[in-house]
Structure 1
Amino acid sequence: MNASSTPARHVCVLGAGIVGLAAAWQLRREGFEVTVVDRAHAGTGASAANGAQLSYAYVQPLADPGIWRQLPKLLLAPDSPLKLRLQADPHQWAWGLQFLAACRASVSRRTTGSLLALAAESRAGFEQLRAETDIECDFSATGKLVLYQDEASFASARQQMALQRELGSVQHALSPAECVAIEPALAGYAPRFAGAIHTPSECAADCHKVCLELLRLLLAQGVRFAFDTPVTGLKRSGDRIVAAQTPRGPIEADAFVVALGTASHPLARMLGLRVPVYPLKGYSLTVDVKETSAAPKVNVTDAARKVVFARLGQRMRVAGMAELAGDNTHIPGDRIDSLRASARALFPDASDYDELRPWAGLRPATPTGLPVLGQLPGGPGNLWFNTGHGALGFTLAFGSAQRLAALLRAQPA
């Protein structure tokens, strides 16, 4: 643990996904006493089987001007990788209107810059964790290829690449043949895409394994955990939260960090606060690699299908899609069939695709794509939020933890 002049304050972190555990790790490093509370266990929810890619240098906010021309398909097409299913839910409508308002070039540019800066801090934080500990998480640093189906989408991607280059990212626009030279497993798919953006520095890891390793390390450092313990409310006294209310009794602390993903919104609403987070449902399947040479070593994203591929040791994670359809994790068979079809199209011989391990999770998305990090106007003085990372929770977790710890460190004891 680092030496610190921080007073011995007790912080209660609500949520044991990758965002909450990374926050607990950083806070403990800086001398805080920490308790972590979760309704399930470490690394469940959106951290359990996500896309596994760490997109530190390639960011494409979902709130983009290109969404407007896709709206009819989003609302009507049954096989669209992006789905919007309108419900009688004022929160969904308010979020959706804010999202459409954010689909402007100026907003997308600002969001890209902010996310890249936070991602750079997060890369440094995760690298520090790996350098100082012996965690096992199927980490790889083989780069990423984002494939574009037609010339129009490829041209738009090159514009985004130019913006990211201005912000310090190192990327290259490649032909299909050049992609195959980097990732030979794409040879059979080369005639079916126009080009790709290559980011050599990108990484991948098993987020669930990282969560379990953080749990092991934090337990060894004296961090307390309350699992299978849902937070039913926050007890407020004046300008402070004095306890998190649970079926097992109150949990008291000096400060509270809400890292509950999509559950952050209803908890904040109990206090009259608004957290603009809505569930963005995604799916994944994990298969064992049958033929090593036929499976990708480089991270691959098929932009048209909205599907990502990441190699995790002798497994391959296939993940994608985004549905704004409420708070449910039901897995329709057609969505997994679609992921399997995508995997077979790109990497037909990588696996036999018979034994699938399907999963669905709810990414906590904000309208702009920027996470909610810090205190809320009108909120209690000792209540902090660390939520709304969308599909970039794993990527941004350690940078968010560092910023959060700095905010808490600066607060008078």
Structure 2
Amino acid sequence: MQVCVLGAGIVGLATAYELQQRGLQVTVIDQAQPGTGASGGNGAQLSYSYVQPLADASIWRQLPRLLLSPCSPLKLRLQWDTHQWRWGMEFLRACNRPTSERSTAQLLALAALSRHHFEAMLRAEALDCDFSRTGKLVLYDTATGLAAAQRQMDLQRQWGCEQQAVSAQRCTEIEPALQHYQPRIAGAIYTPSECAADCLQVCQGLQAVLAARGVRFVLGATVQGFVRQGTRIAAVQTSAGAIEAQQFVLALGSRSHEVAQTLGFRLPVYPLKGYSITLDTSPAPSAAPRVNVTDAARKVVFARIGQRLRVAGMAELVGHDARIPAARIQSLRDATRAVFPHCHQGGELHAWTGMRPATPTGLPVVGRRADAPDNLLLNTGHGSLGFTLAFGTAAQVAELLAPA
């Protein structure tokens, strides 16, 4: 069977890998190089136990501050875009406890499946991607915030998550680089099993492995339309010509909505813009963290990838705007200096922005749709959990096309 995967981010490449492993012939199409979209500079954390969706009941009381504060990590710029408005209304409808708890349970199960397949791939392929399993600390600056996190921890325990609430002193024992920041910490949730890796290196490594095994890559090619035969797709029209296949997988991230429109159905996927900086770490002992750290108050994540530190955050609903405002990067610099003041001793800060493909509930869209072509499968809408969930949804798609 010939399968055409639209998208060469981590989700598309994981899908191509799982399909090739099951003996299918695969073509991957993308307008850019593998991993250079939302995957390339992401937060680098593989957060298998931290999957609670953004759509949560707590959003309602935070909303005024999040929308109106000039230093808010969330930004909304309303546009004459019915898709943005409809997505926003669906998001607000999902901001309730029952929906959040159902989504969390589904995401935790999917994350466990993804961990299994990702780590199996790493063992088989030995990719050089600065993979580490050093655990994760999520820091809270108030007792109220910590108490809410403990309630979420207790909820997740029933689904097998092994986490513990720890004191500020214990935080510095787990991660000595937090010593300077200890007075600002009310407590933290610690998950020893969490991981990190360089997603761009994973994408590049997967491309090399797949190309060597006969997977065809059509890069620098834009999707221009489709050739239809009844209720099926016969071929995808690209700037490099028509490409035929028996099955098609839509894994184009935040651009999936536009492609779905051309095929006559709607996908509730909207770009959630984020930023990151990557800096070389100081060699001084305890200057830079080894453990993954999330500052819950700032909504900024820190992940060690080799001798570099990835610092990522922000969530902006501003459409496909690839500009990188200096103020956003300065915010990440300020967060780094506040939490880890000695981790960087000069040199270039690599600034990045990417469009996370978000659904209102936080659940990715996977599989077939009744209103879509019969031979089209969806694998999109992973939001900020693309790296974490990619191999789980890829396994689900592969099982639909080639059951084990």
Shorter-chain TM-score: what band? over 0.9
Report the alpha carbon displacement of residue 366 of structure 1 after superposing the two structures with TM. 0.2
1:239-259: per-residue Cα shift (whole Å, max 9, x none)? 100111112211100000000
Question: Which consecutive aligned stretches of 4+ in structure 1 deviate over 4 angstroms post-superposition?
Answer: none
Question: Which structure 2 residues correspond to residues 1-400 of structure 1 after superposition, within 5 A?
Answer: 9-292=1-284, 293-400=286-393
AA in 2 matched with 1:172: Q
Whether the 8 Å CA contact 2:137–2:291 is kept in 1: the answer is: yes
1:130-179: per-residue Cα shift (whole Å, max 9, x none)? 11112100000000000011111111111110111111000000110011
Report the alpha carbon displacement of residue 353 of structure 1 after superposing the two structures with TM. 4.5
Report the alpha carbon displacement of residue 406 of structure 1 after superposing the two structures with TM. 0.5
Match of 1:5 in 2: none
Whether the 8 Å CA contact 1:58–1:164 is kept in 2: the answer is: no
1:285-331: per-residue Cα shift (whole Å, max 9, x none)? 00001134210000000011010000011100000111111111110
Whether the 8 Å CA contact 1:58–1:199 is kept in 2: the answer is: no
Report the alpha carbon displacement of residue 105 of structure 1 after superposing the two structures with TM. 0.4
Report the alpha carbon displacement of residue 85 of structure 1 after superposing the two structures with TM. 1.7
Whether the 8 Å CA contact 2:260–2:267 is kept in 1: the answer is: yes
- State the alpha-carbon separation in 2 of the partners of residues 235 and 162 from structure 1: 51
Q: Provide the aligned length of Structure 1 versus Structure 2.
A: 403
Q: Which runs of 5+ in 1 are unaligned?
A: 1-8
- State the alpha-carbon separation in 1 of the partners of residues 63 and 79 from structure 2: 16
Whether the 8 Å CA contact 1:291–1:349 is kept in 2: the answer is: no
Report the alpha carbon displacement of residue 60 of structure 1 after superposing the two structures with TM. 2.1
Report the alpha carbon displacement of residue 375 of structure 1 after superposing the two structures with TM. 1.1
- State the alpha-carbon separation in 2 of the partners of residues 226 and 409 from structure 1: 23
AA in 2 matched with 1:295: A
Match of 1:6 in 2: none
Whether the 8 Å CA contact 2:52–2:103 is kept in 1: the answer is: no
Report the alpha carbon displacement of residue 75 of structure 1 after superposing the two structures with TM. 2.5
Q: Which runs of 5+ in 2 are unaligned?
A: none
Report the alpha carbon displacement of residue 116 of structure 1 after superposing the two structures with TM. 0.5
- State the alpha-carbon separation in 2 of the partners of residues 378 and 312 from structure 1: 42
1:346-395: per-residue Cα shift (whole Å, max 9, x none)? 10101125421000000000000000001112211100110000000000
Whether the 8 Å CA contact 2:6–2:28 is kept in 1: the answer is: yes
Matched position secondary structure for 1:46? coil
- State the alpha-carbon separation in 2 of the partners of residues 49 and 208 from structure 1: 7
Matched position secondary structure for 1:317? strand
Whether the 8 Å CA contact 1:291–1:351 is kept in 2: the answer is: no
TM-score by length of 2: 0.98
- State the alpha-carbon separation in 1 of the partners of residues 403 and 307 from structure 2: 44
- State the alpha-carbon separation in 1 of the partners of residues 78 and 170 from structure 2: 42
- State the alpha-carbon separation in 1 of the partners of residues 395 and 176 from structure 2: 38
Whether the 8 Å CA contact 2:279–2:309 is kept in 1: the answer is: yes
1:45-87: per-residue Cα shift (whole Å, max 9, x none)? 0011100000112222100111101221233222101112211
AA in 1 matched with 2:260: A
AA in 2 matched with 1:357: H
1:169-207: per-residue Cα shift (whole Å, max 9, x none)? 000001100111100000110110211000110000000
- State the alpha-carbon separation in 2 of the partners of residues 116 and 367 from structure 1: 17
Matched position secondary structure for 1:405? helix
- State the alpha-carbon separation in 2 of the partners of residues 232 and 168 from structure 1: 45
- State the alpha-carbon separation in 2 of the partners of residues 42 and 86 from structure 1: 31
- State the alpha-carbon separation in 2 of the partners of residues 258 and 353 from structure 1: 42
AA in 1 matched with 2:234: V
Matched position secondary structure for 1:232? strand
AA in 1 matched with 2:89: L
Matched position secondary structure for 1:64? coil
- State the alpha-carbon separation in 1 of the partners of residues 98 and 366 from structure 2: 21
AA in 1 matched with 2:185: F
TM-score by length of 1: 0.96
Whether the 8 Å CA contact 1:137–1:207 is kept in 2: the answer is: yes
1:206-232: per-residue Cα shift (whole Å, max 9, x none)? 000000000010011000000000111
AA in 2 matched with 1:314: Q
AA in 1 matched with 2:294: T
Match of 1:4 in 2: none
Whether the 8 Å CA contact 2:273–2:316 is kept in 1: the answer is: yes
AA in 2 matched with 1:224: R
AA in 2 matched with 1:276: P
Matched position secondary structure for 1:233? strand
Whether the 8 Å CA contact 1:340–1:353 is kept in 2: the answer is: no
Percent sequence identity over aligned pairs: 61
Matched position secondary structure for 2:38? helix
